[in-house]
Chains A and B, each alone.
Chain A
Amino acid sequence: ETGVTQTPRHLVMGMTNKKSLKCEQHLGHNAMYWYKQSAKKPLELMFVYSLEERVENNSVPSRFSPECPNSSHLFLHLHTLQPEDSALYLCASSQRPGTGFTDTQYFGPGTRLTVL
């Protein structure tokens, strides 16, 4: 496997279900991200992990819970979602060389989530 992979690629869940999205990066990067892409909206940053510590949480509802057990894996745990949470969820990774520097992010293919 190369690059950034995400599973599952498609997910349909009811509002009372609990499910998890998985992301794995094979690029040796030290930062990972979750984004949400809704129809006709820009990509919205949800969470950022750098060196396995959460450094950003852009006011995401608590029904989304991220987990980063190591620098290669990132999970997004989903619980009691709403239909408006239906979207494409994208994972990305990058190498953060140090304070005050921006970087290029590499994306996975995404998980298309539908909440019924």
Chain B
Amino acid sequence: DQQVKQNSPSLSVQEGRISILNCDYTNSMFDYFLWYKKYPAEGPTFLISISSIKDKNEDGRFTVFLNKSAKHLSLHIVPSQPGDSAVYFCAASAKKYGGSQGNLIFGKGTKLSVKP
């Protein structure tokens, strides 16, 4: 069963408007969340992260919101630009005790298209 879910496979937004990408998770032990962006023929590129001790983290046009009670996080891009068109992956990890460290669990991705 998927622990990290991105229920929208695609999203289309007009340039200059806000893009909101959503991600849900099921494992309450997850305490670190990341967003990656992937262009065709390239590997995923780290975009922004958030720790469970926060509910918001902002970096330029990108803001990630975390709602722990709902086990939901979202990535806001504003204003959206055509160069933002890519596949966005949500990932989560949980601290493991006893020597092993958390590994990333990825969602299936959402393809964002920003139209000029």
A residues touching B (Cβ–Cβ < 8 Å)?
4, 6, 9, 40-43, 45, 48, 50, 55-56, 90-92, 96, 99-110
Interface of B (DSSP majority class)? loop
B4 CB to nearest A CB, Å: 7
- Determine the distance from Cα of A110 to Cα of B4 in the docked complex, in whole angstroms: 22
For residue B106, CB closer than 8 A to chain A, the reply is: yes
- Cα(A102)–Cα(B4), bound, Å: 17
Nearest CB of B to A78, in Å: 19
Query: In whole angstroms, what is the CA distance A72 to B108 when docked?
Result: 29
**CB-nearest residue of chain B relative to A10?**
B41
Range of interface residues on chain B? 20 to 34
For B113, list chain A residues within 8 Å (CB).
Answer: none
* Complex interface: chain B residues within 8 A of A9 (CB): 41
Measured between beta carbons, the chain B residues less than 8 angstroms from A100 are 95-97, 101
- Find A102's partner among B36, B46, B89, B102 (CB 8 Å cutoff): B102
Instruction: Given A42-B2, A43-B89, answer yes or no on A102-B99 (Cβ-Cβ < 8 Å).
Output: no
Q: Give min CB distance, A77 to chain B, whole Å.
A: 21
Q: CB distance A4 to B43 under 8 Å?
A: yes
- Pairwise interchain contact B43-A108, C-beta atoms closer than 8 A: yes
- Chain A binding surface, main DSSP class: loop
Nearest residue (CB) in A for B42 is A109
Which B residues are CB-close (under 8 A) to A104?
A: 34, 46, 49
- The docked-state distance in angstroms from the alpha carbon of A99 to that of B101 is 6
Whether B95 pairs with A101 at a CB distance below 8 angstroms is: yes
Bound Cα distance from A106 to B97, whole angstroms: 23
Interface pair B43/A56, CB less than 8 Å apart: no
Structural contact, B106 and A43, CB atoms closer than 8 A: yes
Q: Which 6 A-B pairs have the closest CB atoms?
A: A107-B43, A102-B102, A43-B106, A102-B93, A102-B32, A42-B106
By the criterion CB–CB under 8 Å, are A105 and B108 in contact?
no
